[in-house]
Amino acid sequence: MDIQGKAWKYGDDIDTDVIIPARYLNTSQPEELAKHCLEDLDEDFVDKMEQGDLIVAQDNFGCGSSREHAPLAIKAAGVSCVIANSFARIFYRNSINIGLPILECPTAVEAIAEGDQIEVDVESGTIKNLTKAEEYQAEAFPEFMQEIMAKDGLVNYVKERINN
């Protein structure tokens, strides 16, 4: 699975309350959550990002509560991948479960600037900065996790395996 888009860069400890504020948790509709993605951190995020863009962040992305709404809001907003130094454990699991590719790669995080054009090969973990003509290597996901993401999440993955 290849991904290409513009990088939007953020710092440390971007918690789930910032990703999708609690005042919007009365719905689990992806389209509605998407409208409010990151609005308390970057009020123009949804308006300026384009389908397929990426989020690049520092340490502990997705910390805070265990709400699945956070990666769902990111994915529904059109973000194709999140690259960070590290992720909160439950956010990591929730992201994989809904089919949102996330990669840990401190080298990429350090080198990528906001607005850089990035290409990601999720299967190999290769991250290319097309703006700077640089390449970084994240650890590739195990095959079963790649299958979950390719099926757009755990529910679809399990349904397909049950039906076969």
Residue 143 belongs to domain with CATH number = 3.20.19.10
- Structural domain span for residue 156: 2-163
pLDDT tens digits, 5-29? 999 999 999 999 999 999 998 888 9
Provide the CA 25 distance to its chain's centre, in angstroms.
Answer: 19
Q: Is 134 helix (H, G, I), strand (E, B) or coil?
A: strand
Q: For the chain, what is the domain count?
A: 1
pLDDT at residue 81 is higher than 80: yes
Residue 113: pLDDT band (50, 70, 90) is very high
